[in-house]
Amino acid sequence: MRIVDRLLDLMDHIAAPTTVHAHCDLPCGVYDPAQARIEAESVKATMEKANASEDPSFLTRAAIIKEERCELVKHHLWVLWTDYFKPEHLERFPDLHDKFWKATKTAGECKKTGDVAVADRLLAEIADIDTMFWESKK
């Protein structure tokens, strides 16, 4: 059997694609701002522990962990922003983009500082996003 014949035979067994429509990429329930909040809480806790230490080895490790957690905050916010929220949400939440932009910028700022007040600001910004998220599900 020629390769072309095999491919044609295979194509006969493949079903035509079905178009489906959903609000999200996956069924709702897989997105949650809690993931970003948990990582931001780790950022704050790492800052507090580092601020209470003078051990250079511990401070180096704390800085590495804090930066990793900051990147995870940004990742979770970006996924929520780009995959969950849709253009129709902008009508209901006109400051949606601004809130996400500020929160991701603050996560980046946390990488450069040990100031717990910056981590508190990040947690407050995530709380605002959390409110919009749960309002969007009503």
Whether 65 maps to a domain, the answer reads yes
Whether 132 maps to a domain, the answer reads yes
Give the separation between CA 121 and CA 124, rounded to whole angstroms: 5
Alpha-helical runs (H) found in the chain: 3-13, 34-51, 56-79, 87-92, 96-111, 116-136
Whether 113 maps to a domain, the answer reads yes
**How many structural domains compose the chain?**
1
Whether 1 maps to a domain, the answer reads no
Task: Look up the CATH number of the domain holding residue 59.
Answer: 1.20.120.400
| The amino acid at 134 | W
Domain hosting residue 103, numbered range: 29-136
Whether 9 maps to a domain, the answer reads no
What's the pLDDT band for 3 if we cut at 50, 70, 90?
confident
Whether 8 maps to a domain, the answer reads no
Report the range out of 43-52, 83-92, 129-138 with the highest average pLDDT.
43-52
What is the pTM for the complete model shown? 0.79
Give the separation between CA 30 and CA 79, rounded to whole angstroms: 11
Whether 38 maps to a domain, the answer reads yes
Whether 120 maps to a domain, the answer reads yes
Q: What is the pLDDT of residues 13-45, one digit of tens each?
A: 676 666 655 555 555 567 899 999 999 999 999
What's the pLDDT band for 5 if we cut at 50, 70, 90?
confident
31: Cβ contacts below 8 Å, ≥ 6 apart: 24, 79, 80, 83, 84, 133
